[in-house]
């Protein structure tokens, strides 16, 4: 199918025609474009070396080595040991595994503490263990979108077994004080998990410096393929197997490995980690183009997420405007942004994240998320700002 195919043909509606090649993609928090090097690295494992890594014959040797190399590459990128990296199908599985795997790993399991603005992969896993009578406490973030160590101190008890706080919020971009939260958890004898799905491959991560016990990541958020991710499990931390079956992933996550996906993930992560500072600088300058244009436009707006945000993620509230209408108007202009997290973008309700930070209804309903990525160019940032001004200024 041609890149130049018109979007209107896909849906057979009469919407304004935008050529796919001219589309400005600014929803990188939902998913990212596959890096060409990752794609190239994946192809041999789909075409030629399709052997099952668990088999004893020599045709399995190459896939087995590819798995080991990918595990080592990923471990190096986050300063972990290869045996601490467990391949999964993505962020959702990694989050489910930790929350449920910790609760079910110990018959005397105690309580979980999390935050009320986690991704649904964590929140719904917590709801599932609550159904089985494992207590869960939910911390509220500040209005700017941060979980403070003192908030954790006020709810954590010696009964807490696991604390789970996301590294950066996917709607606001706010980066949490993970090291400090981790220290509070450990001081109370609890283990610490962070959902780092929005952060891995975008900001330098050192699991030893952070002190976390578990960390979730997803390849498609850092220019890798969809349907693959990993869970970091610090050596010595007990967790129940996620899937029972074969002996893959050190006996903790059964299932024939997705070698091409795993190789693509490791390649994409290495590419991004090798140029993490350059990417961050580029994204900060793109952000500034949009913010400066909005500031000088005279439009009523504010930015959410406080002082410490992910590079390129901008949550903007236009009080009195309709975020969904903004999204659709920009879509017709060939610009792809979001109103909230990808999973919620079909709903018109205020997202649980914006509720958690107590944004008033008028601002919350007029909130959109622009999330830029390494392939965005300055002229695209200009066009996004112009489009927002045009749509929100009338």
Return the residue of 195, 213, 344, 380 that touches ligand PLP, per CB under 6 A: 195
Task: Closer to ligand PLP by CB, 224 or 366: give it.
Answer: 224
Q: Which is nearer to ligand PLP, 339 or 341 (CB)?
A: 341
385: number of CA atoms within 13 Å, CB side? Answer: 19
Residue placing its CB nearer to ligand PLP in the complex, 170 or 351: 170
| x/- track of binding to ligand PLP for residues 97-126 (CB under 6 A) | ----------------------x-x-----
Output the smallest distance, CB 27 to ligand PLP, in A.
11
Please select the residue that binds ligand PLP; options are 90, 101, 311, 373, rule is CB under 6 A: 90
Q: How far is the CB of 81 from ligand PLP (least distance, A)?
A: 23
Count the Cβ atoms, other than its own, within 10 Å of residue 328: 14
Q: What is the CA radius of gyration of the chain?
A: 21
- Binding residue for ligand PLP (CB under 6 A) from 24, 26, 197, 368? 197
Alpha helices in 85-145 (DSSP H): 91-103, 120-131
Contact between residue 340 and residue 169 where contact means Cβ atoms under 8 Å apart: no
Q: How far is the CB of 195 from ligand PLP (least distance, A)?
A: 5
If one asks whether residue 92 binds ligand PLP (CB under 6 A), the answer comes out as yes
CB 379 to ligand PLP: min, Å: 27
Contact (Cβ atoms closer than 8 angstroms) between residue 232 and residue 213: no
Instruction: Find the helix or strand (DSSP H, E) in which 132 lies.
Output: none
Asked if 30 and 342 count as a contact pair (C-beta separation under 8 A), the reply is yes
Alpha carbons 309 and 318: distance in angstroms, whole number: 19
Nearer to ligand PLP (CB atom), residue 41 or residue 121: 121
Question: Does position 371 bind ligand PLP by CB under 6 A?
Answer: no
Render 327-369 in DSSP notation, one character per residue.
Answer: HHHHHHTTEE-BSS-GGGTT--SPPHHHHHTT--HHHHHTEEE
Site for ligand PLP in 327-346 (CB under 6 A): 341-342
Q: Which residue is nearest to ligand PLP (CB)?
A: 91
- Interface stretch with ligand PLP, choices 50-58, 69-77, 195-203, 244-252 (CB under 6 A): 195-203
Structure tokens of 216?
A: 């979730």
- What is the C-alpha to C-alpha distance for residues 55 and 64, in angstroms, rounded to an integer? 9
- The kind and range of the H/E element at 24 are strand 24-25
Q: What is the DSSP letter of 314?
A: E
Our finding on whether 199 is near ligand PLP (CB under 6 A) is no
- State yes or no: is 336 an active-site residue: no
Nearer to ligand PLP, 263 or 387 (CB): 263
Number of residues in the chain = 394
Q: Give the Å distances, CA to CA, from 20 to 34, 265, 384.
A: 16, 25, 16
At residue 316, what are phi and psi to the nearest 5 degrees?
Answer: -120, 130
Write down the least CB distance from residue 229 to ligand PLP, Å.
5
Find the shortest distance in angstroms from Cβ 40 to ligand PLP. Answer: 22
Among 229, 264, 311, 340, binds ligand PLP (CB under 6 A): 229
Of positions 125, 198, 304, 309, contacts ligand PLP by CB under 6 A: 198
CA–CA dist 377, 370 (Å, integer): 14
The active-site residue out of 77, 273, 343, 392 is: 343
Active site residues: 343
What residue ranges bind ligand PLP (CB under 6 A)? 90-92, 95, 119, 121, 166, 170, 195, 197-198, 218, 229, 341-342
């Amino acid at each position: 199918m041609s890149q130049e195919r018109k979007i209107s043909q896909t849906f057979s509606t009469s919407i304004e025609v935008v050529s796919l090649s001219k589309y400005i993609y600014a929803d990188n928090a939902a998913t990212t474009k596959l890096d060409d090097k990752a794609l190239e690295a994946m192809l041999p494992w789909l075409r030629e070396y399709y052997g099952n890594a668990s088999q004893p014959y020599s045709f399995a040797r190459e896939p087995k080595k590819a798995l080991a190399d990918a595990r080592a590459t990923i471990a190096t990128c986050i300063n972990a040991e290869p045996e601490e990296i467990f391949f999964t199908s993505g962020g959702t599985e990694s989050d489910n595994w930790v929350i449920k795997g910790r609760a079910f790993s110990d018959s005397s399991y105690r309580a979980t503490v999390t935050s009320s603005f986690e991704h649904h992969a964590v929140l719904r896993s917590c709801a599932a263990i609550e159904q089985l009578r494992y207590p869960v406490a939910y911390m509220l973030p500040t209005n700017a979108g941060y979980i403070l160590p003192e908030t954790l101190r006020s709810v954590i008890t010696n009964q807490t077994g696991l604390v789970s706080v996301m590294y950066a919020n996917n709607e606001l971009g706010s980066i949490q004080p993970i090291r400090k939260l981790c220290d509070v958890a450990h001081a109370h004898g609890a283990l610490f998990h962070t959902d780092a799905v929005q952060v891995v491959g975008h900001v330098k991560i050192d699991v030893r410096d952070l002190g976390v016990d578990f960390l979730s990541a997803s390849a498609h958020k850092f220019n890798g393929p969809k349907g693959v991710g990993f869970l970091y499990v610090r050596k010595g931390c007990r967790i129940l197997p996620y899937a029972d079956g074969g002996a893959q992933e050190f006996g903790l996550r059964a299932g024939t490995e997705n070698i091409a996906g795993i190789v693509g993930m490791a390649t994409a992560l290495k590419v991004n980690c090798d140029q993490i500072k350059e990417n961050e600088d580029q994204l900060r300058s793109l952000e500034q183009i949009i913010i400066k244009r909005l500031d000088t436009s005279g439009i009523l707006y504010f930015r959410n997420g406080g002082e410490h945000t992910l590079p390129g993620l901008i949550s903007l509230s236009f009080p009195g405007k309709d975020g969904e209408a903004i999204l659709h108007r920009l879509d017709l202009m060939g610009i792809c942004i979001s109103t909230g997290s990808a999973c919620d973008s079909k709903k018109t309700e205020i997202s649980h994240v914006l509720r958690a930070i107590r944004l008033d209804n008028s601002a919350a309903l007029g909130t959109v998320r622009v999330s830029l990525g390494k392939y965005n160019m300055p002229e695209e940032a200009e066009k996004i700002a112009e489009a927002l001004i045009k749509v929100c200024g009338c």
